[in-house]
């Protein structure tokens, strides 16, 4: 269990100062182009020429590498091995292992897929490292995202540690009363209800109180709300966003082009 | 349409959604502690779907994956349509009256499982080439080695692994909702979905028939797989 629920690291950098929507568009563009572009080396190129330099620009390179490797390396390695071994494509056999053939084609296929996944997860990680969730939400609600969505995202990130702590308390309490959570399969399966029950009941009781509390603060009011924090959005960033969207469209079209 | 969607959302719904997402994650972790072969990480989504309606359930599911992506692992983002349809299907089935007695809940769980398997297949095939980083991919890989197409192999794996998890989830959600005081539930838009009925004799026969059919279906699936393995 992690003690911190957001990846965000507070630093002063070009990337931190960008408008959250620009960063979101950039992230989506990197991922979509990596997946859509028909050229074989695109994902590798994006990883080396865009994601890594951006992590330097954001001054979060050490944290970025650490988080990215912790999150993706196990998954990407597993994915690579599984696909290289089991993907039944291609003729050029490189080596045989009992009934399994590892071919040149399946290796290439696996390498590109693993890199695509790496681009996807690492660019999201970079986005989350340099953007505070509440900054993103207030910018998006200023642009017309209903306030309820912002409420759900932000309050979930706040409630989650509380619910996890409650779950730990319930596990400890039930164990101290002699609940068997470690022996045979049926005993462990039987322990679900006494553990999950109190957690869900307790949380449901809270709902009504919270509903009254936020209703009293004008939650469903239709009036425009003012924001305490102004988020800059210079016009050149708007141009950057349009260019990125154009790039996505171009790579999608290239992908559809009959080759 | 828009009116129908709106009717799923009152203030109580909006307050329940974050708590339900929290429950998804916390219950998932409890099950991990117990080392059981299920996930149960969509129980909150199913409960919102049942109590508030299909669209509220769908939103809970999708946002649940977004939160999982923000807080723990960005690799969870592309799977949001699966959670979306789990919540939607739970609400739809409950609206059709399939959350009022234990056998109906089993059917709901089964339908949710089929939906999850079907929705996750294209994501798995187009994003990962069929083999993802989860343990059940060994089954997929094995099926592909025996000469099945990618689509077919991924779909069969889903049909094999999903039902146990989703039926357990639905049953547990049902048990919890039965245990909640009526006063707590009454504030949600679709609270009438969970008013339990007393079962008549004919109902019981239908129940038995449905369960037998489900078992036959499972056996049929298994046989098909065995045939395709040996053939």
B2-198 CATH fold? Arp2/3 complex 21 kDa subunit ARPC3 (1.10.1760)
Nearest CA in chain A to B63: A153
Which residues in chain B are closer than 8 Å to A199, comparing Cβ atoms?
A: 23, 26-27, 30
Same domain, A18 and A127: yes
Residues A72 and A185 in one domain: no
Q: Mean pLDDT, to the nearest integer, of A209-226?
A: 83
Q: Tell if the CB–CB gap between B26 and A163 is shorter than 8 Å.
A: yes
| ipTM attached to this prediction | 0.80
Is it the case that residue A87 has pLDDT exceeding 70?
Answer: no
Helices (H) and strands (E) in chain A, counts: 11, 2
Question: Per residue, what are the HEC states of A144-173?
Answer: CCCHHHHHHHHHHHHHHHHHHHHHHHHHHH
Q: Is the pLDDT of residue A170 over 50?
A: yes
Residue A29 and residue A52 in one domain: yes
For A151, the domain range is: 146-215
Q: DSSP letter for B191, please.
A: G
More confident: A82 or A178: A178
Contacts of B191 (CB under 8 A, 6+ apart): B51, B185
Q: Is the pLDDT of residue A218 over 90?
A: no
| Residue B148 clears pLDDT 90, i.e. is over it | no
Cross-chain CB nearest to A153 (options B15, B67, B147): B67
Please report residues of B whose CB lies closer than 8 A to that of A193.
172, 175
Q: Nearest chain B Cα to A166, which residue?
A: B26
CB contact under 8 A, A117 and B75: yes
Q: Is residue A240 part of a domain?
A: yes
Q: Would residue A38 count as lying in a domain? A: yes
Taking CB atoms and an 8 Å limit, are A214 and B127 in contact across chains?
no
Residue A3 has pLDDT above 50, yes or no: no
Chain position carrying tokens 């078992």: B215
The answer to whether residue A247 is domain-embedded is yes
* E strands present in chain A: 93-97, 100-103
Is the pLDDT assigned to residue B198 strictly greater than 80? no
Of residues A43, A175, A40, the one with CA closest to residue A108: A40
Which of the residue ranges A137-151, B140-154, B180-194 would you say has the lowest mean pLDDT? B140-154
Domain layout of chain B by residue ranges: 2-198
Using pLDDT thresholds of 50, 70 and 90, give the confidence band for residue A2. Answer: very low
For CA atoms A164, A166, A167, A168, the dihedral sign is: positive
On whether both A22 and A92 belong to a single domain, the answer is yes
**A31 & A76 share domain:** yes
Same domain, A26 and A120: yes
Asked if the Cβ–Cβ distance from A87 to B17 is below 8 Å, we say: no
pLDDT over threshold 80, residue B218: no
Calculate what percentage of chain B has a pLDDT beyond 90: 36
User: Taking CB atoms and an 8 Å limit, are A171 and B11 in contact across chains?
Assistant: no
Name, of B69-73, B95-99, B140-144, B159-163, the range with top average pLDDT: B95-99
On whether residue A223 sits in a domain, the answer given is: no
The reply to whether residue B18 touches residue A200, judged by beta carbons under 8 angstroms, is no
Q: Which residues of B touch A105 (CB under 8 A)?
A: none
- Mark A68-77 as b/e (b = at least 16 C-beta within 10 Å): beebbeebbe
Tokens of A177: 């009363």
Same domain flag for A123 and A151: no
**What pLDDT does residue B117 have?**
92
Q: Indicate if A202 and A161 belong to the same structural domain.
A: yes
- Per-residue pLDDT at B15 exceeds 90: yes
Q: Would the pLDDT of B208 be above 50?
A: yes
A25 and A110 co-located in one domain: yes
Give per-residue burial for A158-184: e unless 16+ CB within 10 Å, then b. Answer: ebbbebbebbeebbeebeeeebebeee
User: How many folded domains does chain A comprise?
Assistant: 2
For chain B, helix (H) and strand (E) counts, in that order, are 10, 0
Q: Give the integer Cα–Cα distance in Å for B59 and B209.
A: 34
CA distance B129 to B36: 28
Q: Mean pLDDT of all residues in chain B?
A: 85
Identify whether the C-beta of residue B176 lies closer than 8 Å to the C-beta of residue A200. yes
B15, A193: Cβ pair inside 8 Å? Answer: no
Q: Is residue B203 scored above 80 in pLDDT?
A: no
Facing B75 at nearest CB: one of A6, A7, A71: A71
Given pLDDT bands bounded at 50, 70 and 90, which one contains residue B62?
very high
Arithmetic mean of pLDDT, B91-118:
91
- Whole-angstrom Cα distance, residue A86 to residue B145? 6
How many CB pairs below 8 Å do chains A and B form together?
180
**DSSP-assigned letter for residue A96:** E
Q: Which residues does residue A100 pair with via DSSP β-bridges, in sequence order?
A: A97
pLDDT cut 90: percent of chain A above it: 25
Q: Tell me, what's the pLDDT at B147?
A: 75
* CA–CA distances in Å: residue A88 to residues A82, A111, B78, B129: 11, 15, 25, 11
Distance CA A186, CA A89 (A): 43
Instruction: Tell me which chain A residues have a C-beta less than 8 angstroms from the C-beta of B172.
Output: 192-193, 196
Q: What is the least distance, in Å, from the CA of B186 to any CA of chain A?
A: 11
List beta partners, residue A96: A101
Which residues from chain A sit within 8 angstroms of residue B12, using beta carbons?
A: 207-208, 211
pLDDT at B74: 77
Do A106 and A161 belong to one domain? no
Assigned domain for A141 exists:
no
Whether the predicted pLDDT of A1 surpasses 50: no
């Amino acid at each position: 269990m992690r003690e911190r629920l957001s990846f965000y690291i507070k630093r002063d950098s070009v990337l931190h100062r960008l408008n959250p929507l620009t960063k979101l568009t950039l992230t989506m563009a990197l991922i979509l182009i990596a997946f859509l572009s028909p050229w074989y080396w695109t994902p590798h190129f994006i990883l080396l020429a865009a994601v890594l330099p951006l992590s330097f620009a954001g001054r979060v390179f050490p944290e970025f590498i650490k988080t990215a490797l912790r999150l993706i390396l196990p998954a990407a390695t597993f994915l690579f091995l599984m696909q290289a071994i089991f993907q039944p494509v291609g003729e050029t056999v490189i080596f045989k292992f009992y009934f399994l053939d590892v071919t040149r084609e399946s290796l290439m296929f696996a390498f590109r897929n693993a890199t695509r996944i790496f681009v996807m997860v690492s660019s999201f990680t970079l986005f989350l490292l340099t953007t505070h969730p509440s900054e993103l939400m207030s910018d998006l609600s200023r642009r017309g995202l209903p306030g309820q969505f912002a409420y759900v995202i932000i309050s979930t990130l706040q409630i989650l540690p509380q619910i996890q702590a409650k779950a730990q308390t319930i596990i400890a309490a039930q164990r101290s009363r002699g609940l068997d959570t470690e022996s045979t399969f049926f005993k462990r399966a039987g322990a679900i209800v006494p553990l999950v029950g109190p957690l869900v009941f307790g949380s449901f009781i809270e709902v009504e109180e919270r509903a009254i509390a936020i209703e009293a603060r004008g939650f469903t009011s239709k009036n425009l709300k003012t924001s305490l924090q102004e988020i800059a959005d210079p016009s050149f960033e708007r141009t950057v966003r349009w260019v990125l969207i154009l790039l996505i469209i171009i790579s999608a079209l290239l992908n559809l082009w009959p080759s | 349409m828009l009116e129908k969607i709106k009717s799923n959302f009152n203030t109580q719904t909006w307050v329940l959604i974050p708590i339900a997402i929290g429950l998804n994650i916390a219950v998932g972790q409890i099950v991990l502690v117990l080392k059981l072969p299920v996930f149960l990480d969509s129980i909150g989504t199913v409960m919102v779907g049942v109590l508030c309606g299909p669209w509220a359930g769908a939103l809970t599911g999708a946002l649940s994956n977004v939160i999982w992506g923000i807080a723990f692992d960005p690799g969870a983002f592309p799977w949001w349509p699966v959670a979306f349809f789990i919540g939607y299907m739970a609400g739809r089935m409950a609206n059709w009256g399939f959350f009022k007695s234990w056998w109906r809940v089993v059917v709901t769980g089964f339908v949710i499982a089929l939906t999850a398997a079907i929705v996750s297949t294209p994501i798995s095939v187009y994003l990962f080439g069929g083999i993802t980083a989860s343990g059940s991919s060994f089954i997929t890989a094995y099926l592909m080695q025996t000469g099945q197409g990618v689509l077919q192999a991924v779909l069969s794996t889903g049909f094999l692994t999903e039902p146990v998890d989703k039926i357990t989830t639905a049953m547990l959600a049902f048990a919890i909702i039965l245990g909640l005081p009526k006063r707590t539930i009454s504030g949600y838009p679709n609270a009438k979905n969970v008013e339990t009925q007393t079962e008549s004799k004919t109902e019981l026969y239908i129940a038995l028939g449905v369960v037998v059919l489900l078992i036959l279906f499972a056996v049929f699936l298994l046989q098909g797989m065995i045939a395709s393995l040996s053939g």
